[in-house]
Amino acid sequence: MQLTVFYSNHHYNFLRKIRTYNIIMYYEPELYFYNLEKPREFCNFCQTLLDSQRTYSHENRDDYGSPYYIIEIFEIFLCPSCDEVTLIYYYSFGNEDDDLNRNDENYELFRKYHRTVLHAPNKQFHHAIPQSIAEVTRQAQSVLFKSPRASFILCRAVLEEICNHFEIPSERINSKGYVNLNQRLNQLFEQEKMSKDLKDIIQGIRELGNEGAHSDHLTFTKQVNVEDAGNLLMLVNYVIERLYVDKYQQKTAEEALRRLKDKILKPAE
């Protein structure tokens, strides 16, 4: 749902109120059956099911005869495992005229809420992921809600960090010219003998990140929302898991197998 849709639906007052909470609203938020699902939320840091600590909810109705209203819920969660706090904002637009004409007793149960994470702990990265790469990925996560564009640019920066980590030169030997990211990545693919599926995803992240870096700001902002930036970040996370965690686990498994075989299958001489 675009910002303009909210305006044309006379939601301006509600929108203005919401904007005071500094939430960027021009994206399609996730729809959520709050009353039915009684928030089952998970910790971003350790993936544990969160405990709801406190809920603030209120209905905001217009005094000037408009039938539109908004139900807002702020819920504070605590992680029973790592003690980190998560704050989530749920809101639902309603229309009193529609409510009067509705004969469905269960409507409130099935009321759809939008859901926005206002604060969550950073994702925990596997220790096999180099610190500089984890750091830039974390930054892409932390700016996600404030600027999808900044997040896109940082996702591209993660690829630069990956190239640095695999020691792909950023300058041409014997000349001053810089090597662009595309060329560095092609060298990386060859050096690490990457599979086609992984190459396609990495090239896709580069192309999308370039859009964030080079396209006109207003056009980009219209085109790209928080959800898109979240999906791009998901792809970045997938790539770093494949590159570092999978490799680490494969090596660990191979070593375990070798040790077991050495001990059990080779008879003592």
Contacts with Zn ion, residue ranges (CB under 5 A): 43, 45-46, 48, 79, 81-82, 84
Q: CB nearer to Zn ion: give 24 or 85.
A: 85
Provide the minimum distance between the beta carbon of 54 and Zn ion in the complex, in angstroms, as a whole number: 17
> Which one, 122 or 132, has the nearer CB to Zn ion?
122
Beta bridge partners of 116: 89
What are residue 90's DSSP bridge partners? Answer: 73, 115
HEC secondary structure over the chain: CCHHHHHHCCCHHHHHHHHCCCCCCCCCCEEECHHHHCCCCECCCCCCECEEEEEEEEEEECCCCCCEEEEEEEEEEECCCCCCEEEEEEEEEEEHHHHHCCCCCCCCCCCCEEEEEEECCCCCCCCCCCHHHHHHHHHHHHCCCCCHHHHHHHHHHHHHHHHHHCCCCCECCCCCCECCHHHHHHHHHHHHCCCHHHHHHHHHHHHHHHHHHHCCHHHHHHHCCHHHHHHHHHHHHHHHHHHHHHHHHHHHHHHHHHHHHHHHHCCCC
- Closest separation in Å from C-beta 41 to Zn ion: 11
Q: Residue 253 and residue 80: Cα distance in Å, rounded?
A: 31
**Nearest approach, Cβ of residue 18 and Zn ion (Å):** 28
> Residue 51 or residue 97: which is nearer to Zn ion going by CB?
51
- Nearer of residues 111 and 123 to Zn ion, judged by Cβ: 123
Identify which of residues 46 and 118 has a Cβ nearer to Zn ion in the complex. 46
In the complex with Zn ion, the residue whose CB is nearer, 46 or 117, is 46
Asked whether the beta carbons of 188 and 108 are under 8 A apart, the reply is no
CB of 123 to Zn ion, least distance (A): 10
CB of 200 vs Zn ion, minimal distance in Å: 33
Q: How far is the CB of 47 from Zn ion (least distance, A)?
A: 7
Measured from the CB atom, the residue of 70 and 120 that comes closer to Zn ion is 120
**Minimum CB separation from Zn ion for residue 78, in Å?**
9
End-to-end CA, the chain: 73
